[in-house]
Amino acid sequence: MLTVYGIANCDTIKKTKAWLNEIGLDYVFHDYKKHGLSAELAQRMIAELSLAKVINTRGTTWRKLPEDEKESLSAENAAELMLRETSLIKRPIIDVDGQLLIGFDDTTRQTLTSKAK
């Protein structure tokens, strides 16, 4: 099973979904804005991928956060922030048979291409 996590209007998500359709891989799209995010999934993302990779510190949502929230961000409190501000989560995060991949880069495409064969 392949699950793509993200936000529907994200350009990277649109590219990811188009590419998956092109190579013929079936997937389920989990839109944080429509389906939310569980605390367990947020914690799993942090544990498996690392906080530095999961939180998008280059986006508008991050820049709008109060400085004290940015400075106090840790693995312990990040899941709560991710639940509240799902736009902070880098996209896409893809669950491939229990393995989490992040981003739409060469490594991710190679892993997914091998699944399509």
The reply to whether CATH 3.40.30.10 applies to domain 2-116 is yes
DSSP string, 12-62: HHHHHHHHHHHHT---EEEEHHHH---HHHHHHHHHHH-HHHHB-TTSHHH
pLDDT digit string (tens) for 30-49? 999 999 999 999 999 999 99
Give residue 45's pLDDT: 97
pLDDT digit string (tens) for 45-100? 999 999 999 999 999 999 999 999 999 999 889 999 999 999 999 999 999 999 99
Is 54 one of the catalytic residues? no
Give residue 117's pLDDT: 66
Give residue 114's pLDDT: 86
Catalytic residue among 7, 10, 49, 83: 10
Give residue 115's pLDDT: 79
Rounded to two decimals, the pTM is 0.93
Task: List the one residue out of 7, 2, 71 whose CA is nearest residue 37.
Answer: 7
